[in-house]
Amino acid sequence: MKATIAVLPGDGIGPEVVGKATELLSVIAEKHGHEFVFVEGLIGGIAIDETGDPLPAETVRICEEADAILLGAVGGPKWSDPTATVQPERGLLGLRQHFGLFANLRPVKTYPALVEHAPLRAELLQDVDILFVRELVSGIYFGERREQGDGDASFDTMSYSRGEVEQVANVAFRAAQGRRKKLCSVDKANVLASMRLWRRTVVEVHEEYDDVELEHLLVDAATMHLLTRPGSFDVIVAGNMFGDILSDEASVLAGSLGMLPSASLRADQFGLYEPVHGSAPDIAGQGTANPIGMFLSAAMLLRYSLQLEAEAAAIESAIDAVLADGLRTADIAGAGDNSVSTDEFAAAIISKL
């Protein structure tokens, strides 16, 4: 197959891990007889420096002409002045909105090889394999807000329409059908009107997926259940803010932020793929970043946008194999254990393909 991939390295460790991901994808292409064309664009802080705009029109054009987008990370101390008129994060939010990427998929898995260094007891972490589906372009982050002139009162609005809930619920139910057929919907239906609509709509959509078992949890209870019975969850669907918070909480289950991938999808095959972590300014330029979150994002790109399941699975197996061999980047090495550089770690994974 021939596919065009828009590549947006961004800031900090973004370019370090994106460079390794295009190497990995080139090897996949060569081994499986595909042709991937990478077209690079600016986003985030570096785009502000070079063009004054965190999402230049040229970058949007590159993405529009591509089959999928691969992104590193945006932001960093250089651009973090909250009073600045443009922020790097606007580049990412702009992309999500421009392409209507309403469903954010974040898989969280524990690796047997890493369990001994995890912050939770090993027995709680057996078989943790959760897929978060977070609504990404509505809810409280996009509702009406006002900061009153005197600074003494402000408000934000959490609002959802039936259609917005339906489309993300459909993504979550379909994902559950392809996995262990269990969906947990998280809301705050006991207090918030928008969340009562959320629950009613999820129940209605469930009628089309009677092979999937549906559970509802209030968000406060969900935070506890995630730590006390993480292995019992399959797919979790939540609104924008609750999904944001819960998926970050769950990232500790995987051992390091550097291990986690994400996909932001719309209803067709198009999507934006990026690691969950940010630009990690504290380790940028040191060649120590963990490329796994980025590599697993590339695997999701192959799976969801290009329908190349075997190729995606090959990347995941290569990562499992390298971890089982005992190789570690600094973020996942135990105290006193040796660690290797991004280059060595990425090369080891690529050589397993």
Please report, as ranges, the residues that interact with ligand NAD according to CB under 6 A: 13, 73-76, 80, 89, 92, 257-258, 274, 277-283, 289-290, 293, 331
d(CA 197, CA 162): 7
In whole angstroms, the minimum distance from the beta carbon of 277 to ligand NAD comes to 3
Residue among 20, 67, 187, 188 flagged as catalytic:
188
Question: Which tokens in the block code for residue 121?
Answer: 């007891």
In whole angstroms, the minimum distance from the beta carbon of 64 to ligand NAD comes to 21
Q: Is there a catalytic annotation at residue 81?
A: no
In whole angstroms, the minimum distance from the beta carbon of 89 to ligand NAD comes to 6
d(CA 9, CA 7): 6
Residue nearest to ligand NAD (CB): 278
In the chain, what is the straight-line distance between the N-terminal and C-terminal CA atoms, in Å?
19
Q: Which of 283, 235, 290 is nearest to 114 (CA)?
A: 290
Residue among 244, 273, 304, 331 flagged as catalytic:
244
With respect to ligand NAD, which residue has the nearer C-beta, 46 or 217? 46
In whole angstroms, the minimum distance from the beta carbon of 212 to ligand NAD comes to 30
In the chain, count H helices and then E strands: 11, 12
**Matching residue, tokens 């973020």:** 331
Residue 86: CA count within 13 A, CB half-sphere: 18
In whole angstroms, the minimum distance from the beta carbon of 33 to ligand NAD comes to 31
d(CA 295, CA 21): 6
Q: Is there a catalytic annotation at residue 188?
A: yes
8 A C-beta contact, residue 182 and residue 130 = no
With respect to ligand NAD, which residue has the nearer C-beta, 3 or 280? 280
Residue among 53, 109, 129, 141 flagged as catalytic:
141
Q: Is there a catalytic annotation at residue 304?
A: no
8 A C-beta contact, residue 14 and residue 72 = yes
Which backbone phi and psi does 79 adopt, to 5 degrees?
A: -120, 20
Q: Is there a catalytic annotation at residue 109?
A: no
d(CA 332, CA 352): 20
Q: Is there a catalytic annotation at residue 248?
A: yes
Which backbone phi and psi does 262 adopt, to 5 degrees?
A: -150, 155
With respect to ligand NAD, which residue has the nearer C-beta, 91 or 169? 91
Residue among 49, 127, 220, 337 flagged as catalytic:
220
With respect to ligand NAD, which residue has the nearer C-beta, 184 or 346? 346
Residue among 53, 129, 156, 248 flagged as catalytic:
248
With respect to ligand NAD, which residue has the nearer C-beta, 59 or 279? 279
Active-site annotation, residues: 141, 188, 220, 244, 248
